[in-house]
Structure formats: C-alpha cells, structure tokens
Amino acid sequence: MVVINLDPYPSPRPRFTRQGRPYMPKEYTAWKKKFLKEWLTYGLDKFDAGVALKVELIFFIKPPLAISKVKKNKQALEDETIIVVKKPDLDNLEKSVLDSINGHAYEDDNQISELSSKKRYSLNPRVEIEIREDI
C-alpha cells in the first residue's frame, strides 16, 4: 500500500479559452504533479501493458469544523470511521489519482479491471492506494 500525504483533490471539469481550446485549472495540474512526485519516491515498478489490474483507493478527507468540533466525534475521527456523504464526488477523486499516475504505475488506465474506493473523514488527510495484478 502506498500512502500519499496530500489532501485528496477531485478532478474538475475542463475550462475553455476564448478560442475554445480546453485546459485544466492550474491548481489541479499542480496537485497532479505533487501526487506523481510522491508516488515516484516509492520507486515501484510499472505494470506491463496488457496486465489486468485491481486498484483499491481510500481517500481520507479533512472534516469540516461542524464535525471536528463535536466532542463525541473525536474518537471516530481518530479511528477514521466517519463516512463522507458530501462532496467531493468519489468518481472525481478516483479520476484525479488514476490520471496522475497514468503512464508511471501502469501503461494505461484501461488496464484497470477492478476498482474499489471509499472516502472517510480524518484529521490526517491523505490518499492510500494499492495496485496489484487482477488474477
């Protein structure tokens, strides 16, 4: 399991220039570069093209003050058991991570045959990712 100590960041919709060319916001591209840099520090080998992959993702998101200030939530936040049922959308979080490591962890994200993910509140925001061959 790889732990990336960055706040999870959802993939936004592309923006368009006046000429109609699409681009992604600077904050998003900067986050993807940071994520990839952290990923590369693990020195993991890239999966070969054509290998089916199983990916498990856990997004630990900083809780809003309304949750973190409540005393009865203290233990649940430490145990990281409070489920996030608000934005950001899980599919956008998945996309940002998978796009960040595309071409580095695997040849192309079309190799992913199974994907599971969840999001939880935590006082220690991060992304945990595990990639293995899907047999």
CA–CA gap between residue 87 and residue 91 (Å, rounded): 11
Q: What is the reported pLDDT for 105?
A: 96
Q: What is the reported pLDDT for 5?
A: 96
Q: What is the reported pLDDT for 68?
A: 87
Q: What is the reported pLDDT for 69?
A: 87
> How far are the Cα atoms of 9, 64, 65, 113 from residue 80, in angstroms, in the given order?
18, 14, 16, 28
Q: What is the reported pLDDT for 15?
A: 92
Q: What is the reported pLDDT for 127?
A: 98
Residues 38-77: tens digit of each pLDDT: 999 999 999 999 999 999 999 999 999 888 888 989 999 9
Counting as low any pLDDT under 50, the low residues of the chain are: none
* Residue-by-residue DSSP string for the chain: -EEE-S---PPPPPEE-TTS-EE--HHHHHHHHHHHHHHHTT-PPPBPTT--EEEEEEEEEPPPHHHHT-GGGHHHHHHT-PBP-SSSPHHHHHHHHHHHHBTTTBS-GGGEEEEEEEEEE-SS-EEEEEEEE--
Q: Give me the sign of the Cα torsion angle 127, 130, 33, 25.
A: negative
Residue pair 46/107 in contact (Cβ under 8 Å)? The answer is yes
Which domains are seen in the chain, by residue range? Answer: 2-133 (3.30.1330.70)
Structure tokens at 33: 């570069």
